[in-house]
């Protein structure tokens, strides 16, 4: 099974994408996780973003799983209302944008959210890539998730984009915590970057913690697969360490939904 664990139906600029674009890009995968995109302040509410996502994934429920956007600074979410806000919309996890929303991942209000999410068995995707000048780089560091993972060992945590640009911190987290995974969404044109990320994970013995993702619309799943499967060949003449193709293939074919405890 191929699961694309990282896709969006809205671009970073909050422009709605043509549904046909997302559907076409998702065709190569058996399933895909669609992450609600955080709204610009004063323009789009989290409730509306999540409702839009819910309506979209419901039309393709055999193919898609939605994760709700939550900002713990604005919402005091108890177990009861978190359950209501996700179950009612048919959403199976939550996505946080700590860098964009300007909060420390271990903020007290965020920790209360994780407690509820752990009780409800909702995986949490940390989309902390600092996009644009408004992003807070200090809140994007994967090391900040160490306290979260220690405090909530049964909470399934996904580090989005391998924790760009702090890849080595992500690899350390994966090695330390059983409940932490990372979304291996790569830029297909950056062969050297892809090589270093994968080799580092391989040398640390955490390849089983990597989840395949495209970060659509930033890239397409098919191109990401080709990049991952082909980088050994691209660098074959450089006399550098290689990663067995079968291990890379296992990342692409990993049943991410089962790993995260999400019913198909």
Residue 114 φ/ψ, nearest 5 degrees: -65, -35
The pLDDT value recorded for residue 42 is 47
**Residue 37 parent element (H or E):** none
pLDDT at 209 over 70: yes
10 belongs to a structural domain: yes
181 belongs to a structural domain: yes
| Average pLDDT score, the chain | 89
40 belongs to a structural domain: yes
Q: Half-sphere exposure of residue 205, counting CA atoms within 13 Å on the CB side?
A: 4
Closest CA relative to residue 163, chosen from 190, 137, 141: 141
Distance CA 218, CA 225 (A): 14
Per cent of the chain over pLDDT 90 is 63
- Collapsing DSSP to helix, strand or coil, 92 comes out as coil
Q: Please give the model's pTM, rounded to 2 decimal places.
A: 0.93
- Collapsing DSSP to helix, strand or coil, 107 comes out as coil
Distance CA 83, CA 95 (A): 15
What angle is formed at CA 105 by the lines to CA 26 and CA 35, rounded to 5 degrees?
Answer: 15
**Among all chains, which residue has been given the structure tokens 């177990």?**
79
79 belongs to a structural domain: yes
Taking the mean position of all CA atoms in its chain, how far away is CA 222?
A: 17
Residue-wise pLDDT for 18-57, tens only, equals: 678 898 988 999 999 999 987 654 456 788 888 889 999 9
pLDDT at 175 over 50: yes
Structure tokens at 80: 């009861």
**Which of 82-96, 158-172, 178-192, 223-237 shows the highest mean pLDDT?**
158-172
Q: Determine contact, residues 115/146, Cβ cutoff 8 Å.
A: no
- Domain tally for the chain? 1
CATH number at residue 22: 3.20.20.140
pLDDT at 75 over 80: no
160 belongs to a structural domain: yes
63 belongs to a structural domain: yes
Taking the mean position of all CA atoms in its chain, how far away is CA 194?
A: 17
Contacts of 97 (CB under 8 A, 6+ apart): 38, 69, 71, 127, 128
Distance CA 119, CA 67 (A): 17
Range of the domain at 142: 3-259
264 belongs to a structural domain: no
Residue-wise pLDDT for 110-155, tens only, equals: 999 999 999 999 999 999 987 677 789 999 999 999 999 999 999 9
The pLDDT value recorded for residue 225 is 93
The pLDDT value recorded for residue 161 is 95
189 belongs to a structural domain: yes
Torsion of CA 126, 59, 28, 162, to 10 degrees: 0
């Amino acid at each position: 099974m191929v699961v694309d664990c990282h896709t969006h139906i809205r671009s970073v600029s909050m422009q709605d994408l043509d549904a046909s674009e997302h559907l076409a890009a998702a065709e190569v995968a058996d399933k895909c996780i669609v992450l609600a995109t955080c709204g610009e302040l004063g323009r789009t509410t989290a409730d509306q973003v999540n409702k839009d996502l819910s309506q979209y994934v419901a039309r393709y429920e055999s193919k898609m799983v939605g994760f709700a956007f939550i900002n713990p600074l604005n919402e005091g979410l108890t177990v009861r209302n978190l359950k209501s806000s996700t179950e009612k919309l048919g959403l199976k996890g939550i996505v946080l944008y700590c860098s964009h929303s300007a909060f420390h991942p271990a903020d007290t209000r965020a920790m209360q959210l994780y407690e509820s999410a752990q009780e409800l068995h909702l995986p949490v995707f940390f989309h902390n890539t600092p996009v644009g000048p408004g992003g807070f780089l200090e809140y994007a560091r994967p090391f900040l998730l160490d306290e979260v993972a220690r405090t909530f060992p049964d909470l399934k945590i996904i580090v989005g984009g391998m924790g760009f640009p702090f890849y080595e911190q992500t690899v350390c987290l994966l090695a330390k915590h059983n409940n932490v995974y990372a979304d291996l969404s790569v830029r297909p044109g950056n062969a050297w970057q892809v090589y270093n990320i994968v080799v580092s994970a391989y040398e640390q013995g955490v390849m089983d913690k990597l989840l395949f993702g495209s970060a659509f619309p930033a890239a397409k799943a098919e191109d990401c697969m080709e990049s991952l499967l082909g980088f050994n060949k691209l660098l074959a003449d450089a006399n550098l360490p290689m990663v067995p193709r079968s291990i890379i293939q296992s990342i692409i074919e990993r049943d991410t939904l089962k790993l995260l405890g999400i019913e198909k």
